[in-house]
Amino acid sequence: MLAMELRPRSSADASDRRWPQICEAVERLRGTVKRTALVPFDSGDGRVELRLKLECQQVTGSFKARGAWNQIVQLSDAERARGVVTVSSGNHGKALAWAAERAKVRACVVMPASSYPNKIQACRDHGAEVVLAHDRDHCEELLAELVAAGATLVHPYDAERTLQGAGTVGWEIAEDWPEVELVCVCVGGGGLVAGSLLALRQRLGGAVRVIGVEPEGAPNLTRALEAGKPVFLRDMPTKVQGLCPPYAGAVNTKICAEFLDGTLLLSAAEIFEAQRDLVQRGNFVVEPAGAAAFAAVRSQKLPPQLLAGRTQKNPLRVAVTISGGNPDPAQLAALR
C-alpha cells in the first residue's frame, strides 16, 4: 500500500457559528458521561509519543454515550412522548437505550440479526425494544416504518447533535494534552471523527492534524471525500463489525472535506492485531473497531512527512481514540 498523503490545509475557521460548537455539548454532558483517561502507551516506535483516549471505559462501553445523551437531553416534550428509534449494530443502540432509560423515554433499536449477541442483550437490559432485521436493507426498511409511525429518529452518526456529543472526545484530548500534534480517530459513519475534528480545531486551531482510520473493506469516508458526497457501499468485505455502516454521514462528510488532514485504510488483520496488542499488553477490554486508530500507529502507517526528523528526544506527539469496549466475549477470550 502506498503511504498516505496529507490533504491540503484549510484556511476555514472551525469556530464559525455555521459549524456545531462542541463546547455547548461539553456543558450538556458534564456529570453524566465520564471524562475518560488519556494514558501513555508504548508506540513501538521511538519517534512517536503515544497516548490512548480510553473511550472503551466510557459509560455503556463506548463514545456513543456522548452523542446519545446530547440527543436525548435536547428532545422536545412532543418528541419524548413519541419515543425514540435508531438503527445500530450495537454500541449506539446500547448508548441510546441507556440514555433513554435515564431520561424515562421509550426506545426502540433496529439491529442486524448478525450483531454480537452481547450487544443485542445490552440494549434489552437498558429497557429498549429490539427489532432484528435480516440485513442492512431490511434495517433501513424497518427504521423507516417506525419513523413513519411517529417515533423520533436519533441517527447514530449523520446528525449534528450526535456528532456534537461525540466531539467532546476531541475536546477532552485538547484540554488534557494541548501539545498534541496528531490525533488518529476510528471511522465508521464519521460522527466521532467529524465531531472530534471540530473540537480540536476550535480548541487548538491548526496546531494539530487529524486523520481518520477505516478498514480497507469499508472505506465509507474515503469514498465520500473522493466523491464530494456520501457514497452508499453495497459490498463491504470486512470483519471489523462496528465500522461498516452503509455510508459516511452527509454532515460528517462536509466537515471532513473542510478540515480533515486525510484518511488511512488498514487491513482487518492489522486492526485485529492491534486489538490483540491492547488486550495483551495493556489489559484493556477493547473491541476490534475500537482498536482501528491504534492500528495506524502499531502498523507504522502514519504519514512519513510527519515523522521526518523526529527522534526519541523530539517525538511526534500522537493521540488515538480507543472508541469501543464491547467485544464479543468469545472473540475477546481467544486473544488472552
Q: Which of 157, 191, 215 is at the close of a domain?
A: 157
Q: How many CB atoms lie within 10 A of CB 298?
A: 24
Same domain, 51 and 93: no
Same domain, 139 and 191: no
Distances (CA, A) of 283 to 116, 214, 235, 280, 293: 21, 24, 34, 5, 17
Q: Distance (Å, rounded) from C-alpha 166 to C-alpha 220?
A: 18
Same domain, 189 and 50: yes
Residue 4 maps to a domain: no
Same domain, 285 and 150: no
Count up the domains in the chain and report the number: 2
Which residue segment(s) compose the domain that 117 sits in?
Answer: 64-157
* Contacts for 205 with CB less than 8 Å, ≥ 6 apart: none
- Going residue by residue through the chain, which has 336 residues, state the pLDDT in tens, using 9 for 90 and above: 456 889 888 888 998 989 999 999 999 999 999 999 999 999 999 999 999 999 999 999 999 999 999 999 999 999 999 999 999 989 999 999 999 999 999 999 999 999 989 999 999 999 999 999 998 889 999 999 999 999 999 999 999 999 999 999 999 999 999 999 999 999 999 999 999 999 999 999 988 999 999 999 999 999 999 999 999 998 888 888 888 888 999 999 999 999 999 999 999 999 999 999 999 999 999 999 999 999 999 999 999 999 999 999 999 999 999 999 999 899 899 987
Please give the grid coordinates belonging to residue 116: 454480537
**For position 26, which CATH number holds?**
3.40.50.1100
Same domain, 49 and 184: yes
Q: Is 96 helix (H, G, I), strand (E, B) or coil?
A: helix
Q: Distance (Å, rounded) from C-alpha 240 to C-alpha 272?
A: 8
Q: Distance (Å, rounded) from C-alpha 241 to C-alpha 170?
A: 23
Angle between helices 168-176 and 22-29 (to 10 degrees): 90
Same domain, 261 and 117: no
Q: Which of 157, 175, 207 is at the close of a domain?
A: 157
Q: What region does 228 belong to: left with phi over 0, alpha with psi -120 to 50, or beta?
A: left
Same domain, 102 and 238: no
Same domain, 241 and 93: no
Same domain, 166 and 137: no
